[in-house]
């Protein structure tokens, strides 16, 4: 169907009328879908130029770890390139069982279920458990996968103000008598702050609600052994369900839900994203198993990650940037207006620093930001290079 024919299809009117991205692209400020032609851990090649990657969720720097690459390569040759079916039917490998057992033990839960993506894990968890007559309570800054899981469920959804336990209690009280679940991010992906697990647990127990935590940005980062937000507070037994992804600290793709065995057994037979999606490929699964082992045995990586996180936070604050309430390696740099944010992104990109611009609807119009994040494998020299670029460009643009 050509463009002329498209003009006669009413459904496509919205496509023709969507011009904002093309306008930004024409101005040379479009920051998305930038093809990476080569990656060397903390340095990537884009448009023929090497740039320091300051926008990756590769917190422990494991995407290039030799043990991870070796495990993935072995599995590729042993099992082939894909499973060609869902976990429910022909797509379950012994590797999936090994990974589920290792994760359950690591997180202190009875059982675990591996999904093909972190997005599917949250959607499958919430839509699988929350049915008619049930209510799910979401923090207003929860990840989109949590929101979409609630939308796809047959239950009701209530959203409470970010971190506002009093607001949550009022909403739970209004729904007294209904089966309920509270779902929060362990670490919020655009702010870098940590959920109040002690307070949430107290509220959940008061109202008999299940408490689920998405540890996408906490696994490998928080906890005495990198074992997440609940462990960070010493409250593993107080969090009923832990979900997460393999696409960050575990250097691959995929997701999981860890919970009591009966909950996992139920999800195996009721979670549509699990039943109707091809399973995680062998090389990815083996790579995650290896990455989890590295996470557990190389604690110095997490120490370096926190050293780098504090170094970047202190450096940006000393330059006069506003980075909000972040407590983690996620460091948002508040810029303000969208246009200035895109200009700042472009100037940094040209200077050799890759960041992620965050604009509406992810944040309010006046709170646009550049989301930065550090890895354990960044050198202090690399962070200094980024800070110098931020300082010079920020002063020129009047951000600081």
pLDDT at 361 exceeding the cut of 90: no
Can you give the residue ranges of every domain in the chain?
A: 20-53+299-397, 66-297
pLDDT at 375 exceeding the cut of 80: yes
Query: How many Å apart are CA 266 and CA 128, to the nearest integer?
Result: 8
Question: Over pLDDT 70: what percentage of the chain?
Answer: 99
Query: How many Å apart are CA 128 and CA 153, to the nearest integer?
Result: 7
Averaged pLDDT, 150-171: 98
Query: How many Å apart are CA 109 and CA 114, to the nearest integer?
Result: 14
Q: Please list, in sequence order, all residues whose beta carbon lies within 8 angstroms of the beta carbon of residue 318, skipping any fewer than 6 positions away.
A: none
Spacing of C-alpha 203 from chain mean position: 25
Look up residue 81 and give its DSSP letter.
S
Query: How many Å apart are CA 229 and CA 213, to the nearest integer?
Result: 8
- 328, two tokens: 């983690």
Tell me the catalytic residues.
189, 217, 248
Query: How many Å apart are CA 349 and CA 251, to the nearest integer?
Result: 24
Averaged pLDDT, 231-237: 98
Query: How many Å apart are CA 21 and CA 313, to the nearest integer?
Result: 31
State residue 291 phi and psi, 5-degree precision: -65, -40
pLDDT, the chain, mean? 97
Q: Which residue has the tokens 């550090």?
A: 374
Query: How many Å apart are CA 102 and CA 108, to the nearest integer?
Result: 10
Q: What is the pLDDT of residue 1?
A: 63
Q: Which CATH number does 20-53+299-397 carry?
A: 3.90.1150.10
Pick the CATH number of 66-297 from 2.60.40.730, 3.90.1150.10, 3.40.640.10, 3.40.50.300: 3.40.640.10
Q: How far is CA 232 from CA 84, 209, 305, in A?
A: 38, 21, 16
pLDDT one-digit tens code per residue, 119-148: 999 999 999 999 999 999 999 999 999 999
pLDDT at 388 exceeding the cut of 70: yes
Averaged pLDDT, 162-176: 97
pLDDT one-digit tens code per residue, 250-286: 999 999 999 999 999 999 999 999 999 999 999 999 9
């Amino acid at each position: 169907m050509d463009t002329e024919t498209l003009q006669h299809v009413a459904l496509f009117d919205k496509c023709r009328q969507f011009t904002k991205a093309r306008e930004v692209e024409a101005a040379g400020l479009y920051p998305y879908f930038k093809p990476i032609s080569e990656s060397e851990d903390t340095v990537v090649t884009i448009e023929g130029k090497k740039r320091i990657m300051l926008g990756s969720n590769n917190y422990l720097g494991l995407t290039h770890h030799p043990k991870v690459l070796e495990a993935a390569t072995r599995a590729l040759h042993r099992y082939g390139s894909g499973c060609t079916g869902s976990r429910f039917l022909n797509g379950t490998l012994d590797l999936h069982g090994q990974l589920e057992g290792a994760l359950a033990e690591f997180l202190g839960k009875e059982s675990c279920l591996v999904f093909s993506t972190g997005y599917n894990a949250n959607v499958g968890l919430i839509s699988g458990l929350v049915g008619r007559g049930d209510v799910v309570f979401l923090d207003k800054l929860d990840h989109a996968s949590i929101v979409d899981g609630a939308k796809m469920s047959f239950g009701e959804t209530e959203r409470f103000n970010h971190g506002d336990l009093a607001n949550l209690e009022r909403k739970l009280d209004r729904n007294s008598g209904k089966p309920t679940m509270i779902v929060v991010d362990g670490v919020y992906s655009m702010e870098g702050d940590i959920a109040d697990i002690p307070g949430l647990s107290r509220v959940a127990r008061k109202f008999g609600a299940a408490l689920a935590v998405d540890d996408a940005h906490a696994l490998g980062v928080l906890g005495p052994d990198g074992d997440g937000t609940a462990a960070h507070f010493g409250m593993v037994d107080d969090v009923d369900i832990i979900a997460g992804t393999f696409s960050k600290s575990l250097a691959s793709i995929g997701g999981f839900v860890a919970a009591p065995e009966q909950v996992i057994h139920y999800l195996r037979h009721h979670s549509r994203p699990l039943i109707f999606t091809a399973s995680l490929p062998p090389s990815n699964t083996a790579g995650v198993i290896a990455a989890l082992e590295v996470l557990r045995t190389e604690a110095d990586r997490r120490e370096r990650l926190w050293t780098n996180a504090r170094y970047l936070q202190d450096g940006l604050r000393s330059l006069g940037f506003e980075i909000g309430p972040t407590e983690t390696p996620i460091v948002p740099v508040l810029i303000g207006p969208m246009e200035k944010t895109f200009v700042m992104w472009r100037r940094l990109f040209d200077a050799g620093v890759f960041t992620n611009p965050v604009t509406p609807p992810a944040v309010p119009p006046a709170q646009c930001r550049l989301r930065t994040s550090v890895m354990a494998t960044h050198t202090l020299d690399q962070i200094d290079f980024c800070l110098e670029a931020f300082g010079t460009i920020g002063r020129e643009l009047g951000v600081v």
